[in-house]
Structure 1
Amino acid sequence: MITVLVIDDHNMLRGALCEILDRESDITVVAQAADGRAGAEYAARLHPKVVILDVEIPGGDVVQNLLTLRDVSPESRVLIVSMHQDMALIRDLVEYGIAGYLHKSAKRETLLSAIRAADAGGEMVVYVSWQEDKRSVAGDRDPLPDPTLTDRELEVAEQVAGALSNRQIANALGITEGTVKRHLRNIFRKLGAVSRLDMVNRATAAKLIAPYPAETASYPPE
């Protein structure tokens, strides 16, 4: 059974989330809290397998709350949720070992998958919302499909944005060219991209990766 602690100061959203989780046969919510202090007290006593932590709650900023949770329950995996998609903040939180970062627009299936991956010690999942500027990202095309990229896919996307070839990316990340191609196929599918340049433009517009100077935008073929 995956034990979960939910820390979110929005009572209605927190209650709805807990109801969704408790419907799952392999997940149980052991406690819920509206602020960082109460959340830390529950974590220290219950040692949940997964903590769902909202970015903006009373009782300290998200980094302080994250460090406190690590101190009182080091085995708990922390899954960050937020209404914002600040990629600089996400990168900072990754350094503190979060299990994942989900925008609150994420579907139920995405949340459940992230919780199970966190419990299993799987790869970190980042999900951000496309709602802020779909038109500027997708132009006249259909809305972008699945905005979930793993941390490795984000690394590959950043290398592509730097105009590296598949071989250079493989060397930089210590993986094979075949693995790079597999990650690229997944990224193209998730972003609805048709070329490396199109992929970079979509990932940049969605703030998944930082923009690169125009002079680096000479992309090798797929």
Structure 2
Amino acid sequence: MQPDQPETTVLLVDDHALVREGLREILGYQDDMVVVGEAGDSQGAVEQTAEKRPHVVLLDIEIPGDDATTTVARIRERSPHTAVLILSMYEGPELLQSLLDVGVRGYLLKSVTKQELVSAIRSVRFDKDRVVVSVSRESIAGSGQSDPGGPPMILSDREREVLELTAQALSNRQIAAQLSLTEATVKRHLRNIFVKLGAASRIDAVNKAVEGALIEVGERRQAAAHR
């Protein structure tokens, strides 16, 4: 760290305490970085960002609450100079493009190395024009483009069940009760579905799943998903 450069402040946002602990340990070995706060959901992320004004937010894409694009937009509204780095298990051209559109400074798969993570944080801190993306070449090439001729994204059986009930305009609580799941689990399945399909909303996910022959619902049920 240069003598005239303050430490890079980082906010960790992930709903798993163990993941946050691991990230905190990794960054703790860097003499130019300091973790100034943690959050486990989207509301906490926005509130902590507004309070701490960190240089960088490491944001897990699957946290409870608002979708990632909404969370990023709210963070940037409250703290425009904070750089947001997304951490994700999934690739998806449309999702990547939507996040770039709202101003994320990076999109990293959770398979990146410690060195790559630390390097990305330093890059977005000190180079205001740098955007760091660690995904496959196919995701970058397909960002913002549709590929109707490509292979359909595979949903798990449980994800199909959740999406079919979503198409019936059931709430997350009703879906949870019908499938004997917790509401948090339903939310997680929906977030996974959104990521896999590159969907921006419940109706968008239903429409894309129907178009891709991933689920079958009637027109009336499909329309009902738009609530």
TM bucket, shorter chain: 0.5 to 0.7
2:66 matched residue in structure 1: 60
From the superposition, tell whether residues 113 and 16 of structure 1 become closer, same or farther in structure 2 (CA, over 3 Å). Answer: same
1:164 matched residue in structure 2: none
Counterpart of 1:9 in 2: which secondary structure? coil
**TM superposition score normalised by structure 2:** 0.58
Gap regions ≥5 residues in structure 2: 1-6, 150-227
Offset of 1:4 from its aligned partner? 0.3
Percent identity reads: 38
2:35 matched residue in structure 1: 29
Offset of 1:208 from its aligned partner? 3.0
Offset of 1:5 from its aligned partner? 0.3
**TM superposition score normalised by structure 1:** 0.59
2:140 matched residue in structure 1: 208
2:57 matched residue in structure 1: 51
Gap regions ≥5 residues in structure 1: 129-146, 148-202, 215-222
From the superposition, tell whether residues 67 and 212 of structure 1 become closer, same or farther in structure 2 (CA, over 3 Å). Answer: closer
2:121 to 78, 93, 115: 115
Which structure 1 residue ranges, 4+ long, deviate > 2 Å from structure 2?
Answer: 210-214
Alignment root-mean-square deviation, CA:
1.9
Question: Deviation digits for residues 142-171 of structure 1, max 9, x if unmatched?
Answer: xxxxx6xxxxxxxxxxxxxxxxxxxxxxxx
Offset of 1:42 from its aligned partner? 1.0
Offset of 1:39 from its aligned partner? 1.4
1:88 matched residue in structure 2: 94
Question: How many residues are aligned here?
Answer: 139
Is 1:4 aligned to residue 10 of structure 2? yes
Question: Deviation digits for residues 117-153 of structure 1, max 9, x if unmatched?
Answer: 110124211112xxxxxxxxxxxxxxxxxx6xxxxxx
Offset of 1:212 from its aligned partner? 8.0
